[in-house]
Amino acid sequence: MGQASFERVASAPVSAAGHELQVPEAFANLIAYHLRIAQEASFQAIRHGAGKADLKPGWYTILTILSENPGITPTELSRNCGRDRSTLTSTLRDLAARGLVVRRRTQKDQRSYTIRLTAKGEQMLEQVRTFCRLHDAKIDRIVGSKNKAQFIATLRKIALVLSRDRAAGEPADGGSRGARQQKPALKRAYNNKDRHAMDDQRLRRKTP
């Protein structure tokens, strides 16, 4: 697709359920915005097509990973689905409350637990998976067979670089590592200042 053609497509309003989605001018050239809109449209299509009104974003991915990796730990699941452990915990709690997954404490460490799909979870996964195959085929047609490999490679690169930067503690504004290293020094400085203030108070109390 040429640059001129791409710009025409990007600038055109997107039709959804008989309504046109007007992209804010400020977001027209922001990749992250279009990724978010495409993800939301894809998820809504899956939820509607699979007839699962209570299906939430990320559930299909989590259920699929658990089906292929029974007895996986939350940490391993977090790495596989690309979600923070903190946000994943609430999702697993919700899935367990609905009887879709079961959590079991490990024998070696009672503080840790593994996760498995229940029979109900397997059943729901199969129902959603049946529609998702049709849904993925439709997205393949939208992207085009010639563009698919490059499109997936670009998405994987975005996910990889952002995840790697987050793991390395890179700040969102691209600040230097030196700026991050200043925080412990500042904390020590404040602690020293507090100690000096406390010493001064002790001296004043002892002075007649």
C-alpha 189: how far from chain center:
36
Asked whether 72 and 115 are in contact (CB, 8 A), the reply is yes
CA pair distance 181, 187, nearest whole angstrom: 11
pLDDT of residue 54: 72
What mean pLDDT value characterizes the chain? Answer: 77
| pLDDT score at 167 | 78
pTM over 0.75, yes/no: no
Q: According to the per-residue pLDDT averaged within each range, which of 15-19, 66-70, 130-134 is highest?
A: 66-70
- Highest mean pLDDT among 18-32, 40-54, 135-149, 171-185 belongs to 135-149
Please give the backbone phi and psi of residue 7, each rounded to the nearest 5 degrees, phi first.
-65, -35
Say if CB 124 and CB 100 are below 8 A apart.
Answer: yes
Residue 21: what pLDDT? Answer: 72
Tell me what pLDDT residue 165 has.
86
